[in-house]
Amino acid sequence: MIDLLFRQTTESIVIRIQNNKEIVFAKVQGELLQFSSIEGLKLSLTGILKQFPDLEGKPKEEIRKEAIKRFKDHIQSLKTEKEIIEYIVNDLKKYGFEPQMIHKKGFRPRRLQ
């Protein structure tokens, strides 16, 4: 299990990689972390269409389902945890999230640059 902590202005999020490429997300609210799979997130339709312009013109729910499927397929195509971490860090940087820390189970947390 690996936790990645990101910060965007005053908002902090944790992304957890667990059970062989399963990704869950949490918004930090004080000491409370409530994890959700990607299906439980509010996804921006404009963000999805920016990433996948070929989905333009389809119904909103179909666009959302296809974006989730493509994300999961992409994560499964990555071979190592390191590749998954690099993908997540680089993708979130595009949206203004700065990587803060990484914590691998059994190790001390360390700062990310």
More confident residue, 44 or 113: 44
CB-CB contact of 58 with 67 (8 Å): no
Strand partners, 33: 28
Domain boundaries, given as residue ranges, for the chain: 2-111
Its pTM stands at 0.85
Q: How far apart are CA 99 and CA 106, in angstroms?
A: 20
| pLDDT tens-digit series, residues 85-112 | 999 999 889 888 999 999 999 999 999 8
